[in-house]
């Protein structure tokens, strides 16, 4: 009761009586939890100890069945190996003799050790404590959530860790074995949806679909968030935004989808929505780091970098382990070209989130902009070792190979990035840069027709023609000897960027090539001259006809003026009208 009301000191006083902590794991856990709530992490570790009860770790079901049949009799040559195996048998037996509630409290204490080590920036030890907590009690979701939320493992490590968990230890109140088996399968699928979305997309889709249809969880916020994360990794920002908006509408106090929601709004340049959301969060959740993250994202979107940096910094100080705040803080330096400060901030993010490839990717991009090709290659290689299925990472790594003149490898990676993006269902606009880079690599490799095809695909996929792409197309056409087509492409480039020096220089070279070059062939020129001469004769004939008709009108006018009396006058006017009418008829016939 005292703990639930926040009276941690009074709760500690009661727990220290009569040796409760030494004899009861529940009391020991509660005392350590009181220290954690008071930010006394060193004292909490004194209570908890520094060793995890690994003898309680349950092996996967199939492995446990094999271990039970180990024969203790062995020859001397195999004594060491069987001793290790028999020790593992003893661990399983110890677990079976242990009370299930004590096992859960031991797992919870492993989780608290991880929290304490994380607060002390000992992230490797924290990760091991979290992993042991989940291995001891597979239902210790808090520890699993810390592993996933803080990206403490690479995507491959996450899937290996999931495979090592023994979900068969999950039991339900019913005595039916099928009910326990279904509960184990249900828990495994829920855990699967929390894993990295950069690997095993088919398994993720299967788990999400099964939970949505078989268990009727299609509207569950966690399932919707998992789908939104998958869409975000494939650059389908508008679809991801629709899902996160649905989550926030049904549960406004659920802050988990906000980082993805804010990132989608930034990518789609939704300034008004960001303004309203950031003000709402600052008023309703002023103690949450995600509220000030939203304010920082808004200022970053409207290009007020100094204000964005201040609020990203505030968010990171409120929670030093909040990854999006550190990434946003580093982005503000990168946006202003402050590469050294950006590298420092990205390095901090890489240290905090060792399992995520994004900080290493951003470090590689910054060094690439500084033309530190060797360092860029090293960082991007480290990111590639963590994640091999990110199209953006493949694009940056291929760019490094391009600058190192390894054109074949560069072309292969660019093409692989496009294939991967297509398989993930990415929007065409997200692959424009990669396709343009592939065109440049093909151009440098002398494969001009393939390069021209890539540039034309880029121009067709964008509403506004990029002057740089038009310039590249003109260069390729010039290399192919198509000077006239190159002139057309370069004129399109200069229409969008009139002061572009490269397009101006290439246009001058193309026009130099066309000096003395006939526009048409010899036969076409003869046909053109013949038609031109015929047109000239026709024009002269019409001019002569007009002169004759003009002379005739003057003659008739003079004759009408000689007549006397009303009759003569009327006759003259009637003849003039008739001549004018006949002249109009001749012009209509012509």
Output the tens digit of pLDDT for each of the chain's 590 residues: 677 777 888 888 878 877 778 878 888 989 999 999 998 999 999 999 888 888 888 766 544 443 343 333 333 444 444 344 334 444 455 555 566 778 899 999 999 999 999 999 888 999 999 999 999 999 999 999 999 998 899 888 999 999 999 998 888 876 677 888 899 999 999 999 999 988 888 899 999 999 999 999 999 999 999 999 999 988 889 999 999 999 999 998 899 999 999 999 999 999 999 999 999 999 999 999 999 999 999 999 999 999 999 999 999 999 988 889 999 999 999 999 999 999 999 999 998 888 889 999 999 999 999 999 999 999 999 999 988 888 999 999 999 999 999 999 999 999 999 999 888 788 888 899 999 999 999 999 999 999 999 999 999 988 778 899 999 999 999 999 888 899 999 999 999 889 999 999 999 999 888 886 655 556 766 776 777 777 777 778 888 888 888 777 776 666 544 444 444 443 343 444 444 444 444 444 44
Q: Where are the domains of the chain?
A: 522-547
Residue with tokens 């988990």: 256
d(CA 356, CA 96): 37
pLDDT number for residue 177: 75
pLDDT number for residue 411: 96
Long-range CB pairs of 96-100, under 8 A, 24+ apart, other chains included: 98/56
pLDDT number for residue 96: 57
pLDDT number for residue 320: 87
Please provide the size of the chain in residues. 590
Q: What counts of helices (H) and strands (E) characterise the chain?
A: 31, 0
Residue with tokens 């065409």: 428
Q: Quick check: 398 and 417 in contact, CB under 8 A?
A: yes
Residue 11: C-alpha distances to residues 2, 8, 31, 326 (Å): 5, 5, 8, 36
pLDDT number for residue 60: 63
State the sign of the Cα–Cα–Cα–Cα dihedral 160, 356, 137, 115: positive
pLDDT number for residue 312: 96
pLDDT number for residue 242: 96
pLDDT number for residue 81: 40
CA-wise closest residue to 416 among 272, 403, 401, 524: 401
101 alpha-carbon distance from chain centroid: 43
- In terms of Cβ atoms closer than 10 Å to its own Cβ (0-12, 13-18, 19+), residue 562 is exposed
Q: Quick check: 112 and 136 in contact, CB under 8 A?
A: no
Across 364-397, b (16+ Cβ under 10 Å) vs e yields bbbbbeeebeebbbbbbebbbebbbbbbbbbbbb
pLDDT number for residue 554: 73
Q: Quick check: 170 and 180 in contact, CB under 8 A?
A: yes
Query: 3-class DSSP state for residue 343?
Result: helix
DSSP category for residue 60: P
Q: Quick check: 319 and 287 in contact, CB under 8 A?
A: no
Q: What is the largest CA-CA distance in the chain?
A: 155
- Write down the pTM of the prediction: 0.77
| Tokens (6 digits) for 318 | 């409120």
Q: Which helix (H) or strand (E) holds 360?
A: helix 358-369
Q: Quick check: 305 and 324 in contact, CB under 8 A?
A: no
pLDDT number for residue 524: 67
DSSP category for residue 56: G
Those residues whose C-beta lies under 8 Å from the C-beta of residue 496, and which sit 6 or more positions away, are 464, 465, 466, 467, 470
């Amino acid at each position: 009761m005292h703990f639930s009301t926040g009276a941690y000191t009074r709760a500690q006083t009661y727990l220290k009586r009569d040796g409760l902590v030494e004899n009861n794991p529940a009391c020991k856990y509660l005392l350590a939890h009181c220290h954690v709530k008071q930010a006394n992490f060193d004292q909490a570790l004194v209570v908890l100890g520094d060793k995890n009860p690994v003898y309680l770790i349950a092996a996967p079901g199939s492995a446990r069945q094999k271990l039970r049949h180990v024969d203790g009799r062995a020859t001397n040559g195999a004594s060491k190996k069987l001793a290790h195996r028999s020790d593992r048998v003893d661990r399983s037996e110890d677990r079976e003799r242990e009370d299930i509630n004590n096992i859960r409290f031991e797992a919870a204490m492993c989780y608290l050790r991880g929290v304490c080590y994380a607060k002390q920036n000992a992230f490797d030890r924290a990760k091991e404590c979290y992993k042991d907590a989940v291995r001891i009690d597979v239902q210790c979701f808090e520890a699993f959530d810390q592993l996933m939320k803080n990206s403490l493992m690479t995507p491959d490590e996450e899937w290996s860790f999931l495979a090592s968990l023994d979900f068969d230890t999950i039991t339900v109140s019913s005595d039916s074995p099928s009910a326990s088996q279904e509960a184990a399968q249900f828990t495994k699928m829920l855990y699967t949806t929390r894993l990295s979305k950069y690997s095993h997309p088919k398994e993720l889709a299967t788990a999400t679909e099964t939970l949505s249809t078989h268990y009727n969880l299609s509207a569950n916020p966690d399932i919707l968030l998992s789908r939104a994360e998958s869409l975000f990794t494939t650059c389908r920002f508008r679809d991801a935004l629709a899902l996160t908006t649905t989550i926030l509408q049904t549960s406004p106090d659920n802050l988990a989808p906000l980082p993805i929601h804010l990132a989608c709004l930034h990518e789609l340049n939704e300034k008004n929505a960001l303004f309203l959301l950031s003000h709402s969060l600052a008023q309703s959740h002023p103690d949450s780091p995600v509220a000030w993250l939203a304010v920082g994202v808004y200022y970053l979107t409207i290009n007020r970098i100094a204000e964005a940096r201040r609020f990203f910094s505030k968010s990171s100080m409120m929670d030093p382990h909040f990854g999006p705040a550190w990434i946003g803080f580093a982005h503000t330096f990168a946006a202003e070209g402050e590469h050294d400060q950006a590298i420092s901030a990205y390095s901090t993010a890489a240290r905090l989130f060792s399992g995520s490839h994004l900080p290493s990717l951003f470090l590689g991009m910054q060094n690439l902009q500084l033309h530190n090709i060797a360092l860029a290659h090293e960082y991007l290689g480290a990111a590639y070792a963590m994640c091999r299925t990110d199209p953006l990472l493949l694009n940056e790594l291929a760019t490094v190979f391009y600058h190192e003149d390894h054109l074949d490898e560069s072309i292969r990676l660019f093409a692989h990035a496009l294939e991967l993006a297509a398989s993930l269902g990415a929007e065409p606009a997200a692959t424009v840069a990669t396709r343009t880079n592939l065109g440049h690599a093909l151009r440098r490799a002398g494969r001009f027709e393939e390069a021209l095809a890539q540039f034309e695909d880029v121009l067709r996929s964008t509403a506004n023609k990029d002057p740089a792409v038009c310039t590249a197309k003109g260069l390729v056409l010039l290399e192919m000897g198509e000077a006239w087509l190159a002139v057309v492409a370069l004129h399109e480039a200069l229409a969008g960027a009139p002061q572009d020096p490269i397009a101006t220089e290439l246009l001058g070279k193309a026009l130099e090539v066309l000096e003395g070059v006939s526009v048409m062939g010899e036969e076409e020129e003869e046909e053109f001259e013949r038609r031109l001469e015929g047109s000239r004769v026709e024009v002269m004939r019409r001019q002569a006809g007009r002169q004759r008709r003009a002379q005739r009108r003057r003659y008739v006018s003079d004759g009408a003026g000689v007549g006397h009396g009303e009759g003569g006058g009327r006759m003259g006017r009637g003849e003039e009208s008739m001549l004018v009418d006949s002249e109009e008829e001749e012009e209509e016939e012509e």
